[in-house]
Amino acid sequence: MQLKKIYKILDELSPFELQASWDNSGLQVGEMDDKIKQIYLSLDVDSSLLEEVKENSLIITHHPLIFKGIKRLDSSVYPAKLIKKMIKKDISLIAMHTNFDITHLNKYVAKEILGYEDITCDGHICYFDVDCSFDDLALHVKKSLGLKILRSVGDKKYIKRCALTTGSGADLIGEVDADCFLSGDFKYHQALEAKENDLALLDIGHFESESHFPACLSKNLIKFPLKAIMTNSKNPFEYK
């Protein structure tokens, strides 16, 4: 199957034009006329994944491998070392990042992973009612996402409305209209800002909240002409 046909299907599913201005979703490695024999779905591209992927394949990731302009292709360092391996094996790469957050991933995690209904989405933020104590919410989120550690901010006793952004949504704190915000990568001063503004936070982890990308995309590719193989990169963080 030609890469351009796959790209068209993905663009219809989650338009690339919806991506944030700073994002770099879309075709990252390969040519539109490339013939694809196999498709792999993963959160990221890493060395172990490239060992597994067969030649003439397409990897569809959530995170773009190339974010900023590359001034020098030094194949001894990231990301050029991965790009070199991909070129050698004729592996193409498409990233579906912030566009897919908006159209699918945030809602999928809220509904399919956390189990909430009546979800409304406003850009990169999803909202839903939980109507429970803060402690009960924290325990439910920790169990549902399989978190070993759950950082929290705030001393609210009861949470009625929750907001969620998978990945790194900390910069959206000022836009959140809820009692509690679930996202990842909260920094110290963002936590302080939220606490002073009476917004509770649960840090659900960047990797942990977005690792569901392969399953979410696969669910929407049931009638796809090629079978999509779900795989995933590994969390670079370890907990001692």
Which one, of 217, 210, 166, lies nearest residue 59 by Cα? 217
pLDDT at 233 over 90: no
pLDDT of residue 232: 82
pLDDT at 138 over 90: yes
pLDDT digits over 150-193, tens only? 999 998 999 999 999 999 999 999 999 999 999 999 999 999 99
Token pair 């995309």 is at which residue?
A: 217
Which class is domain 3-99+212-230?
Answer: alpha beta
pLDDT at 119 over 90: yes
Residue 225 CA neighbour count, 13 Å, CB half:
11
Mean predicted confidence (pLDDT) in 144-155: 94
User: Which strand ranges, in their side-by-side order, compose the sheet holding 57-61?
Assistant: 26-29, 92-95, 57-61, 38-42, 228-230
Nearest-angstrom CA–CA distance, 136 and 146: 15
CATH homologous superfamily of domain 100-206? NIF3 (NGG1p interacting factor 3)-like (3.40.1390.30)
pLDDT digits over 191-201, tens only? 999 999 999 99
3-state secondary structure (DSSP) of residue 187: coil
pLDDT of residue 78: 93
Residue 65's pLDDT band (cuts 50, 70, 90): very high
Considering the chain, tell me which residue range(s) the CATH 3.40.1390.30 domain(s) occupy: 3-99+212-230, 100-206
pLDDT at 226 over 90: no
